[in-house]
DNA sequence: CAACGCCTTCTCCCTTAAAC
DNA sequence: GTTTAAGGGAGAAGGCGTTG
């Protein structure tokens, strides 16, 4: 099982000459490599469980904790370490047979397994970024109207605070986009928005209630579109049952949403609205990782569990109506 | 009524480009 | 020089129409 993935890729056996197969074979291109199932599972893990993590490290640390056993070792962990361990256990649950495979593996093999999963996470993230880049323009364009100025689907430079419409959506809740001075400062970078200052597009009807943090939070139509785009298929947004191919949720047996998947989608949507060309989890301009973690922090907060439960229920009805029992 | 093949849709993967 | 993401293209899945 360990190296079955290299089965039919002998043409790259020693990596010395990478000749495009079409130069070697006649006829249509054959599938070169069978993707390791771990990569595939990694895609889902990144989207629905934990987007930003170093999987080899997660595995290595997780194995150590697992072998130590006892619940008192868990108590001694920092908050971050405990979160990492929760993600680790979720990973074991999601990937069938991973636990026994890890236990039978050497340190190096564990790292290799981690890298395969990591590859899936990164690949899925890149694909979703690409897909949303064009689609998000459709969602933010008012029905029957056009954006002015027009934003091309494949260009990002005119977005972010450079555009009236994307700027309004990205404007953090504490600031007033209608104020021309604020707008100028946001545009020229005089005001920088850190990831934990949430943009108004997260709220239902894009309106924020200073008296009530939860009012409309994470209930926006834009987020639902983004969520469907990534999880139930791009075409499921406008029309039911048009797609002839299964979307991500179905492929991965996902019947209900996860907290992390909301944060993931919000992060992707946020990036799609910005003028930033290149997705990076750490850069200071997009600050995507902090944005993601700040949402996760709220959703994981035990004190907020009532609100969060309501939110999840609402989302399940929006996105997975077939699996939600009618009440 | 069944079987075949077309066609749309979505994911996967490789190459290219850019950043560090 | 190495690593990382964007971009484009090919493959695969499954519904639907058509034909025998």
* pLDDT tens by residue, A42-90: 888 888 888 888 888 888 889 988 888 666 677 788 887 888 888 898 8
Is A129 part of any domain?
no
Q: How confident is the model at residue A23 (pLDDT cuts 50, 70, 90)?
A: very low
Is A21 part of any domain?
no
Q: How confident is the model at residue A326 (pLDDT cuts 50, 70, 90)?
A: very low
User: Is strand B within 7 Å of residue A37 (CB)?
Assistant: no
Residues 223-252 of A with CB under 7 A from strand B: 233-236, 242-245, 247-248, 251
* Strand B bases contacted by the protein (CB, 7 Å): 7-15, 18-20
User: Is strand B within 7 Å of residue A34 (CB)?
Assistant: yes
Is A148 part of any domain?
yes
Is A220 part of any domain?
yes
State the nucleotide closest to A30 in CA–C1' terms.
Answer: C11
Element (H, E) at A47: helix A37-48
- Whole-number pLDDT of residue A38: 79
State the nucleotide closest to A155 in CA–C1' terms.
Answer: C6
User: Is strand C within 7 Å of residue A130 (CB)?
Assistant: yes
Joined tokens for residue A248: 């991500």
A287 dihedral zone (left: phi>0; alpha: psi -120 to 50; beta): left
User: Is strand C within 7 Å of residue A28 (CB)?
Assistant: yes
Q: What is the mean pLDDT of chain A?
A: 78
- Find the range with the poorest average confidence among A105-114, A136-145, A235-244: A235-244
- Whole-number pLDDT of residue A284: 61
Which residue approaches B8 most closely, CA to C1'?
A244
Which residue approaches C7 most closely, CA to C1'?
A130
Q: A37 CA to B1 C1', in Å?
A: 39
pLDDT in tens, A252-309: 777 788 888 888 888 888 888 888 877 766 566 677 888 888 999 999 999 999 999 9
Q: Please report, for residues A49, A240, A316, A317, the alpha-carbon distance to residue A324 in angstroms, rounded to integers and kept in the order given.
A: 21, 17, 7, 6
b (16+ CB within 10 A) / e for A72-98:
eeeeeeeeeeebbbebbebbbebbeeb
Percent of chain A beyond pLDDT 70? 81
Same domain, A106 and A209: no
Same domain, A155 and A282: yes
Is A32 part of any domain?
no
Is A55 part of any domain?
yes
Q: A162 CA to B5 C1', in Å?
A: 50
- Whole-number pLDDT of residue A4: 33
Same domain, A301 and A246: yes
State the nucleotide closest to A133 in CA–C1' terms.
Answer: C6
Which residue approaches C12 most closely, CA to C1'?
A245
Same domain, A195 and A267: yes
Same domain, A182 and A82: no
Looking at the structure of chain A, the number of domains it has is: 2
Same domain, A201 and A247: yes
Is A252 part of any domain?
yes
Residue with tokens 């494949």: A154
The domain in which residue A182 lies consists of 141-319
The DSSP symbol for A231 reads: I
Percent of chain A beyond pLDDT 90? 16
Residues 59-118 of A with CB under 7 A from strand C: none
């Amino acid at each position: 099982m360990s190296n079955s993935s290299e089965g039919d890729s002998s043409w790259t056996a020693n990596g010395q000459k990478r000749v495009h197969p079409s130069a070697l074979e006649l006829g249509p291109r054959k599938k070169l490599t069978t993707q390791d199932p771990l990569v595939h599972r990694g895609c889902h893990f990144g989207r629905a469980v934990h987007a930003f993590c170093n999987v080899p490290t997660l595995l290595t640390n997780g194995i150590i904790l697992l072998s130590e056993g006892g619940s008192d070792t868990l108590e001694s962990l920092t908050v971050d370490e405990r979160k990492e361990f929760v993600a680790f256990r979720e990973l074991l649950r999601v990937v069938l047979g991973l636990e026994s495979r890890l236990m039978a593996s050497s340190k190096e093999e564990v790292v290799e397994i981690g890298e395969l999963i990591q590859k899936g996470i990164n690949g899925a993230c890149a694909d979703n970024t690409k897909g949303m880049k064009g689609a998000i323009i459709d969602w933010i364009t008012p029905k029957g109207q056009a954006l002015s100025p027009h934003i091309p689907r494949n260009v990002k430079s005119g977005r972010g605070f450079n555009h009236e419409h994307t700027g309004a959506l990205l404007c953090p809740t504490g600031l007033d986009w209608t104020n021309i001075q604020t707008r100028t400062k946001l545009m020229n970078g005089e005001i920088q928005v850190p990831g934990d200052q949430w943009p108004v597009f997260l709220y239902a009807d894009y309106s924020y209630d200073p008296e009530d943090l939860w009012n409309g939070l994470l209930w926006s139509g834009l987020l639902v579109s983004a969520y469907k785009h990534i999880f139930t298929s791009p075409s499921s947004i406008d029309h039911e049952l048009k797609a002839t191919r299964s979307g991500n949720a179905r492929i991965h047996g996902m019947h209900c949403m996860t907290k992390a998947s909301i944060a993931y989608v919000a992060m992707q949507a946020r990036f799609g609205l910005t003028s930033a060309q290149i997705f990076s989890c750490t850069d200071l301009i997009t600050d995507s990782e902090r944005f993601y973690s700040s949402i996760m922090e709220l959703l994981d907060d035990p004190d907020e569990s009532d609100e969060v439960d309501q939110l999840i229920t609402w989302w399940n009805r929006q996105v997975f109506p077939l699996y939600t029992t009618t009440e």
